[in-house]
Amino acid sequence: MNLPNKIAWDDNVLPFQLDNADVRGRVARLDGVLDAILEQHNYPAAVEAMVAEAAILTALIGQTIKLRWKLSLQIRGSGPLRLIATDYFGPTDDGKPARIRAYASFDADGVASANGAPFSMIGQGMFAIIIDQGVGTTPYQGITPLAGGTLAACATTYFAQSEQLPTRFAIAMGKSREPGQNERWRAGGVMIQHMPKASPFASDATGEGGLLAAGDLLHGDDSENWNRVNLHLDTVEEMELVGPNVAATDLLYRLFHEEKPRVFDAQPVSFGCTCGPEKVVQTMSIYSAKDIARMTTDNGMVTADCQFCGAHYEFAPETLGFQATRKPDI
């Protein structure tokens, strides 16, 4: 897509509420963040698309966490796209940007020979959301099977099954080119979520594989309101989601003006990685002397690369608590 009249690529998340429907939500747009995530790697286009989808989902979901918390998405499967991992770091202080990072692990030959939609490269597996509140706390982890044919559908199932919250995502991503510049990935999305009720009751599960769906959690007026808001969201177009010519507030008015939308302060987001020498040393503490020996180069240094940002680290074995030794014969 060409963007000759681009307004702005915001790299932010705009929370909103629909007062007439008891529904809350977020609009997110990512551009520079995706550039920074993907330029660290040389992914095939199909893998890039899946990482972009995971990143926009992470921005939409992560906006709700508190300062200095971390929310992670992990998608693991049996196919050639083995893992997609994302992290959303809550702002360090009010007014500061949140940070997002992401990476994928895959079998290059399997991805090259894969047919069908990019999601099919994951195969059978699980979708997990992990919330880490910091030192001295036990991270929360919720897991659901992969279902629905897209990561957005998996996230919808997660919220219905694990959180009992009716939720829906509309997302779009793709490459754009401005005159005289290279193609860049852009992504945008809308998340809507029915306000939580006390002790929701679902009498039947109508989702794929016997899992709960959003509609299973609502009855009466709540169900009518939810269905009406979903009909509004059905009219959204991909170019409106990614936002080259439509501001987030204009999009909300176009979709939901009958529902009395209210917007709140937008949360800026940027690419950010928290790796560093101390964290690498801490991670390596789980390895045995034999493992460290295998990681040691011919010049006697232990090396490690950050999977998220590509930062390269080198340590003398002694700094990790091990004596220098040559690699074992294999």
pLDDT tens, position by position, 53-68: 999 999 999 998 998 9
**CATH 3.55.30.10 intervals, the chain:** 12-271
> In the chain, pLDDT over 90 holds for what percent of residues?
58
Mean pLDDT of 37-54: 94
* Cα–Cα dist 144/197, whole Å: 22
Q: Residue 288: pLDDT above 90?
A: no
Query: What is the structure's pLDDT at 322?
Result: 66
For residue 132, what are the CA distances in angstroms to 74, 117, 129? Answer: 13, 32, 10
| pLDDT recorded at residue 323 | 56
**Are the C-beta atoms of 298 and 41 separated by less than 8 Å?**
no
* Residue 2 reports pLDDT greater than 50: no
Find out whether 75 and 84 touch, Cβ atoms under 8 Å: yes
Among the ranges given (43-52, 225-234, 289-298), the one the predictor scored with the smallest mean pLDDT: 289-298
Lowest mean pLDDT among 54-58, 209-213, 302-306, 310-314: 209-213
Q: Is the pLDDT of residue 314 over 90?
A: no
CATH architecture of the domain covering 12-271: 3-Layer(bab) Sandwich (3.55)
Give the mean pLDDT of the chain: 87
The pLDDT value given to residue 45? 93
pLDDT band with cut points at 50, 70 and 90 for residue 191: very high
Choice between 116 and 81, residue whose per-residue pLDDT is larger: 81
Q: Are 98 and 55 in contact (CB under 8 A)?
A: no
51 vs 12, 72, 248, CA distance in Å? 18, 13, 23
What mean pLDDT is predicted for residues 82-92? 96
